[in-house]
Amino acid sequence: MRTQLFVGIAALAALTGCGLENIFGNAGHAPYDRPASRITGTLQEGVPATRLAVLDGAGNGLEPFQVTAGGGGYEIRLPSSKYAFIRIQGRGGNAQWRALVPFVGEESSTVENLDARSLTEVLLVEAWLGARGKKFLQLNPAAHLGDGLTSGTRTLIRRDMDTAGTPTAQLLGMVTRVLTRVNLSAGSVDPDFFGVPEMTGWTVKTSPLGAGFLTRNPLDYDSDGIAESDSAKFDAKLAEAAQRYNPAGCADPSRVRVLFTSDFRANKLDGNCGVINRFKWAVDKPGKSMFFVGWVHQDSPVQDDKADQLLGAGTPNMVRMYDDGTNGDEVAGDGIWTVSFDLPPGLRVGYKYTWGTSGAPWTGSEEWPGNSRLLEVLDVGPIDPATGQGDNFVYRRDVFGDEATNKDRSNQNGSSDKGAITWTTDMHGCGPEVREQPFTDGNACVCGTSWHTPESVGPLTVACTGP
């Protein structure tokens, strides 16, 4: 017995250490699910997962890493990120469904059914955008969602759907009746219904209902006792209902949308017209990407803790930037990294960029040490001569590693004068360094000639309570 005890102790002693802890700790570990932005909802029975697709705000396809469908429902998992105004599209037989997802965040989920109500909503917003020449990218999720009670485009649309006699309720009725003609076994190349409406002003140029569908299959979709063989009434109702809303939202008097963009392309010029060495201070390693770090400057007349947290509160490598065509980034993979914030006008911000990994320290990631860039949040251009108002954007373009433009203390501008900049310093005759300016692409030493209003994202708006 004693011998066996010794043997046991010896065996245990022999088994401890040397990597066995990992086996003890991980042998039963099932790999974590990949972090996802998840969208679920109901789906017409019989529509396969392979016929589900996701469209981004520009109408391009997004690549989910997992799609499942069955039992009257679906689940789509996108790589964890922030997605605004994406559309879920399901295709089966002669029909096509769409649902609008105003927003889904990182490692979160949202429910959007692919049904008649979602279809009606997305048709209304598509028609409005077509009529106004705008894109989904330029809409604001907060303005669309509103408070769910009295404000927000979705709130208003859904309220009208439930109010008999409104154009929206009538349109919903039409959509519902058309959907009774779903034939999942039909082998249509293009769906008979519902395509994206194309608009000329408030007139539907291309109907969501396929041109020949109603000719071949007359349907009393407006329930007036007469079968319609064209889409005229449907299109007219769509245009009428769409005009009742303002998906762009209403102007936000308390905040302005600020876009910081960092040009990380090689061989770009600094404020001295010299070629920038991006890795003078930062170290390049696999897995790195661009981060923004900002804080409310001590000189700011507006001190806002929430804004400070939003900007990263001076902690490096916490606020990621995007170069994938999302979140305000205009062109995927072009080396211009973007992040946007909604900030109170007049706020003064200190900031800089880091080329790092999540949570990494300053050293080896910051564009330069000990200094910061400055920005005063004022929308100074472009100014609409008719209204005298700006574009509701503050757009800032910086070249990563530029020590001769907007660098507050040891500025390298000029050949020898290594001065500091203040809230009024104008080094290049382009206006104060700390304010929004026109810019020259890839060249920080030449003033820009025209202002830039991004089309990858809309100006900051709030939910409207009416059209």
Partner 1 sequence: MTSAWRLGLLAGTTGLALAAAPARADTVNFDLSGKIYTKYMYKNDNTQGCLSMSNPFWVDNIQGSNGACTEFELTMKARVGPKVSAGVRLQSRWGMMWQDWWENGDMKPGVSDTSGESLGMNHAQYIKLRGAYARLAPPIPTVKWITIGSTDYSMWNEWTIGKARYIDRDNGSGVFVEGELLPAKRLSYTTGAMALPKLWAGPGWQTGIPGDASGGGGDTKAGLYGTDWAFAAKLESQVSDDLRLKLIGSLIQDWEADRNSPFLTTGPSSAARGADHSVALATRFRGVNATLDGAWTPGSLEFLSISGLAAYSSNYVNPDYATNMVRNGQGFSPVVFKVDGRGQAVASNGAAGKLLVELFDPLRNGLSAKVEGFYIGSEYNAIMGARREADVLLTDGIITGGFTRGGQLPTLNVANEFQDWDEPWYETCIGWQGATVLLEYVSGGLKTTLEGTAIGYNTNKQNRDVSNQYPDFLYPNGFTDTTAYTADADYANKYARGKDPRSVYARFQDRFTSLAVLNAQYAVSAPGNPVLSGKAKYVHDSDGRNKAFVDPGTGQVTPKGDDYLGKALMFMLAATVQPTSELKLSAGYEYSTWTEKNRVGSQSAGYYDDDTRRHTVHAGLNYAFGGALLGYSLEYFHKNLLRQAPNYDMVWNVWRSKATFEVAW
Residues of this chain that interact with partner 1 (CB under 8 A) are 3, 6-7, 9-10, 13-14, 17-20, 22-23, 25-26, 29, 31-35, 80, 106-107, 284-287, 320, 358-359
At 8 the three-state DSSP class reads: helix
At 31 the three-state DSSP class reads: coil
| Least distance between partner 1 and beta carbon 31 (Å) | 5
| Least distance between partner 1 and beta carbon 39 (Å) | 17
| Least distance between partner 1 and beta carbon 255 (Å) | 23
| Least distance between partner 1 and beta carbon 361 (Å) | 15
Residue (300 or 365) nearer to partner 1, CB: 365
Residue (117 or 320) nearer to partner 1, CB: 320
Residue ranges of E strands in 275-388: 289-296, 319-320, 336-343, 348-356, 373-376
CA distances from 65 to 34, 39, 169 (A): 9, 12, 36
Residue 177 tokens read as 């009746």
Cα(330)–Cα(339) distance, integer angstroms: 11
| Least distance between partner 1 and beta carbon 454 (Å) | 24
The 10 Å Cβ neighbour count of residue 116 is 20
Contacts of 290 (CB under 8 A, 6+ apart): 262, 264, 320, 321, 323, 337, 353, 354, 355, 400
Cα(332)–Cα(60) distance, integer angstroms: 12
Q: Which of 355, 354, 464, 374 is nearest to 425 (CA)?
A: 374
| Least distance between partner 1 and beta carbon 147 (Å) | 24
Residue (17 or 187) nearer to partner 1, CB: 17
Centroid of chain to Cα 148: 21
Residue (284 or 384) nearer to partner 1, CB: 284
Residue (21 or 45) nearer to partner 1, CB: 21
| Least distance between partner 1 and beta carbon 312 (Å) | 12
Q: Which helix (H) or strand (E) segment is 398 a member of?
A: strand 393-399
Count of H helices and E strands in the chain?
Answer: 9, 19
Residue (13 or 386) nearer to partner 1, CB: 13
The secondary structure of residue 373, as a DSSP letter, is E
| Least distance between partner 1 and beta carbon 91 (Å) | 24
Residue (63 or 224) nearer to partner 1, CB: 63
